[in-house]
Amino acid sequence: MELRNKVAVVTGAASGIGLAMSERFVADGMSVVMADIEVDALTDAVARLQAAGAKVEGIVCDVSDADQIASLRDSALAAFGAVHVLCNNAGVGGSGKPTWKTSPAVWDWVVGVDLLGVAYGVQAFAPLMVDQGEGHIVNTASEAGLCATPMLGSYHAAKYGVVGLSEALVMELAGTGVGVSCLCPELVATRIFESTRNAPAHLDLPAPKPVPMEMLEGLLKTTALDPGVVAGNVVDAITEGRFWVLTHESTRLRVHHRNENLESGRTPEMLAIGDDL
Ligand SMILES: NC(=O)c1ccc[n+]([C@@H]2O[C@H](COP(=O)([O-])OP(=O)(O)OC[C@H]3O[C@@H](n4cnc5c(N)ncnc54)[C@H](O)[C@@H]3O)[C@@H](O)[C@H]2O)c1
Mean pLDDT in residue range 175-186: 98
Q: What is the pTM of this model?
A: 0.95
Mean pLDDT in residue range 140-160: 96
User: How far lies 217's CA from each of 52, 166, 192, 193, in Å?
Assistant: 27, 32, 15, 15
Coil, strand or helix at 13: coil
Res 125: pLDDT: 99
pLDDT-based confidence at residue 211 (cuts at 50, 70, 90) = low
145 CA to centre of ligand 1 in angstroms = 14
Cβ of 64 less than 6 Å from ligand 1: yes
140 CA to centre of ligand 1 in angstroms = 9
Which atom from ligand 1 is nearest to the alpha carbon of 144? 6
Order of strands, edge to edge, in the sheet holding 135-140? 56-60, 31-36, 7-11, 85-88, 135-140, 178-184, 244-246
CA distance 64 to 59: 15
CB atoms inside a 10 Å sphere around CB 205: 20
Which atom from ligand 1 is nearest to the alpha carbon of 20? 16
247 CA to centre of ligand 1 in angstroms = 16
Per-residue three-class SS string for 179-205: EEEEEECCCECCCHHHHHHHCCHHHCC
Count CA atoms within 13 Å of residue 9 on its CB side.
35
Catalytic residue among 80, 109, 120, 155: 155
Respond yes or no: is residue 160 known to be catalytic: no
186 CA to centre of ligand 1 in angstroms = 13
Q: At a CB cut-off of 8 Å and minimum separation 6, what does 118 contact?
A: 63, 88, 139, 140, 162, 165, 166
Res 95: pLDDT: 78
Which atom from ligand 1 is nearest to the alpha carbon of 227? 16
DSSP codes, 102-139: --HHHHHHHHIIIIIHHHHHHHHHHHHHHHHT-EEEEE
Cβ of 63 less than 6 Å from ligand 1: yes
The neighbouring-strand residues paired with 188 are 225
Which atom from ligand 1 is nearest to the alpha carbon of 185? 6
Helix axes 39-51, 16-27, angle to 10 degrees: 20
Coil, strand or helix at 264: helix
Res 247: pLDDT: 96
Give the start-to-end residue ranges of the domains of the chain.
7-264
Cβ of 135 less than 6 Å from ligand 1: no
pLDDT digits (tens, 9 = 90+) for 105-126: 999 999 999 999 999 999 999 9
State whether CATH 3.90.1150.10 applies to domain 7-264. Answer: no
